[in-house]
C-alpha cells in the first residue's frame, strides 16, 4: 500500500507529465530516495544537481559563518533545508534567513528575510529561473554568490509581471572589494570577499 502522500487518483485522458507535490517530495525524502543526492522540487519537477565541489562548500561555509554573525537571537540560519514556497515547490536554498527559533513552528518555513544561493555550475539557472521563483514567492532579498565570477548578485523589490509570476525590479552585482547589507540587517554590511573562497 503506497503512503498517503501518494494516494492520488489518476484522471483519464492523454499522457502527461507527472508533477510532484511538496508533500510527495518530502515523503520520497523520508523514504531515503535522495540520500547522498542534491535534489529540490521546482514547479512540480524534481531537479538534481551534481556533487558539491570544494569551492562551493567553502563559499557556503563562509557565507553561513558571516550571516550567523549578523543574525542572532530571533533568527534562524537554515542551511540547505526545506523552504515551502508553494504546493509544488521546495527549492531547498543554500541559506535561508528565517525569523523565529527552531521551536517556534512545527512546519517548514514558507518565507525568508533573505535567501542565498551559492553558485558555480548553476549560475544561469540561479539568476533566471530561481530568481523568478523567489520573486513570485515574495522573497524581498535574494542573493546569488557567483563563486567563479567572484561577485555577489543582489536581487530586490519583487513585483508581478504580465502573464503571472513575478520578477525583481532591482538587480546589482558587487565585486570582492564592495559591501552590501541585508535588508533585514541594514546596519550590518557584508564584504563580498569574506564570502568567497
- Phi and psi at residue 158, to the nearest 5°: -70, 140
- Confidence (pLDDT) at 77: 96
pLDDT tens, per residue, the chain with 197 residues: 455 555 556 667 777 677 788 778 878 878 888 887 777 777 777 877 777 789 999 999 999 999 999 998 999 999 999 888 877 777 789 999 999 988 887 788 889 999 999 998 889 999 999 999 999 999 999 999 999 999 999 999 999 999 889 999 999 999 999 999 999 999 999 999 999 99
CATH 3.90.1570.10: which residues of the chain?
51-194
DSSP 14-63: S----PPPHHHHHHHHHTTTTTTSEEEEETTEEEEE-PPPHHHHHHHHHH
Going from the C-alpha of 61 to that of each of 22, 68, 82, 175, 196, the distances in angstroms are 27, 10, 18, 19, 10
For 51-194, CATH number? 3.90.1570.10
This prediction's pTM: 0.83
Amino acid at each position: 500500500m503506497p503512503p498517503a502522500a501518494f494516494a492520488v487518483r489518476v484522471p483519464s485522458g492523454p499522457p502527461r507529465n507527472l508533477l510532484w507535490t511538496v508533500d510527495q517530495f518530502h515523503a520520497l525524502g523520508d523514504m531515503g530516495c535522495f540520500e547522498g543526492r542534491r535534489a529540490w522540487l521546482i514547479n512540480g519537477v524534481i531537479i538534481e544537481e551534481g556533487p558539491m565541489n570544494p569551492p562551493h562548500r567553502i563559499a557556503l561555509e563562509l557565507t553561513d559563518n558571516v550571516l550567523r554573525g549578523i543574525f542572532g537571537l530571533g533568527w534562524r540560519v537554515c542551511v540547505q533545508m526545506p523552504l515551502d514556497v508553494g504546493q509544488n515547490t521546495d527549492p531547498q536554498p543554500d541559506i535561508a534567513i528565517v525569523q523565529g527559533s527552531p521551536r517556534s513552528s512545527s512546519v517548514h518555513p514558507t518565507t525568508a528575510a533573505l535567501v542565498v544561493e551559492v553558485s558555480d555550475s548553476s549560475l544561469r539557472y540561479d539568476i533566471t529561473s530561481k530568481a523568478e521563483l523567489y520573486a513570485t514567492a515574495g522573497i524581498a532579498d535574494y542573493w546569488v554568490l557567483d563563486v567563479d565570477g567572484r561577485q555577489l548578485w543582489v536581487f530586490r523589490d519583487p513585483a508581478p509581471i504580465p502573464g503571472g509570476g513575478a520578477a525583481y525590479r532591482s538587480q546589482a552585482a558587487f565585486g570582492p572589494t564592495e559591501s552590501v547589507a541585508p535588508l533585514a540587517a541594514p546596519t550590518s554590511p557584508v564584504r563580498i570577499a569574506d564570502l568567497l573562497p
